[in-house]
Chains A and B, each alone.
Chain A
Amino acid sequence: MNKSDVKIVVIIILLAGFSYIIFNLVKENGNTAFVYYEDKIILTIDLNINKEYVVQGLLGDVVIEVKDKNIRVKEESSPKHLCSLQGYTDSSSKPIICLPNKIVIKVGGGDDIDGVVY
């Protein structure tokens, strides 16, 4: 490992740090989750309510669970169950991506709403 190696490692760390900070500046810690199929929003979820939802993915049903303001994929039909392994998320900088099912779950405030009355 020589000097230029160290340089490139430092550059990468800086890049990672910068992109992390930028993503965090724009991130929304909302209480709404948006479920996308490809680029279309198919479901909007209020994270204040602990509940389970089922959406249709490319390969079959995707079971989404909301618990204590966090959201995760509980069950899915896909070969490796990668997105249920991913666990819970609560911020837009950590979306849940289910590639085989083409489902993306992203947390956000949408219009930055603090609560919903119903």
Chain B
Amino acid sequence: MKTKRITTISMLTAISVVIAIIESYFTFLNGIVPGLKLGLANIIIVFALYNYDFKTSLLISVMRVIIVSLVRTGFGLNFFFSLGGAIFSIVAMSLVKKTKLSIVGVSVVGSVFHGIGQVLVGSIILNNHYVIYYLPYLLLLSIPTGVLIGIIAKRILSYDILKLMNNEKK
């Protein structure tokens, strides 16, 4: 059981790292908000949140931020930026998961707080509140990305990957 958990976590982390790295090559959103990411790696986080628990998804999320920084962006300000966004989004999602919201709604909330977390960390690091002017753009953009992530995560969940894995074993 333990080995399986470790394997799954590493697999999911690996996938989310790959998604994040691929995404980091798409810079077309930078014209709107600097450093803005679609956050497609959140697909894995949403999936983990529904399939496992808060702790597991938090672990995957933090590991992803560390690994992506390690291989691509370095441990500069971007690291804190991403970390802030990741933690905010995951805490918010786990809080609203128990409400009537479907997986799409939860994912939208996650996206919104991903943006809010980035803005907050940015304000603190730069010691400059002007970063907050990006909030409306971040809020609006988080809707399509949140919906997209939610729908993809739902699709993945419907395949019941765990069952597939177990079947393969037999």
Contacts and interface: CB of A to CB of B under 8 A. Distances in A.
Give chain B's interface secondary structure class. helix
B139 A19 contact: yes
Contacts of A86: 30-31, 34
B143 interface: yes
Contacts of A97: 34, 122, 126, 130-131
A97 to B, nearest CB: 5
Interface residues of B, number: 37
Contact of A80 (B27, B104, B105, B143): B27
A85 B27 contact: yes
Interface in A64-79: 79
Interface string A90-118: 00111111111010101000000000000
Give chain A's interface secondary structure class. mixed
Contact of A1 (B77, B105, B133): B105
Contact of B112 (A12, A20, A23, A95): A12
Given A8-B101, A9-B143, A19 B135 contact: yes
Nearest to A73: B34
A71 B128 CA distance: 19
A97 B123 CA distance: 11
Contacts of A17: 136
A20 B105 contact: no
**A-B interface, 7 closest residue pairs, ranked by CB to CB distance from nearest:** A5-B105, A16-B139, A20-B136, A4-B100, A39-B127, A85-B30, A95-B130
25 contacts: A2-B101, A4-B100, A4-B105, A5-B104, A8-B101, A8-B105, A8-B109, A12-B108, A15-B139, A16-B140, A23-B133, A36-B126, A79-B73, A85-B31, A85-B34, A92-B130, A92-B133, A93-B133, A95-B131, A95-B133, A97-B122, A97-B126, A99-B81, A100-B76, A104-B128
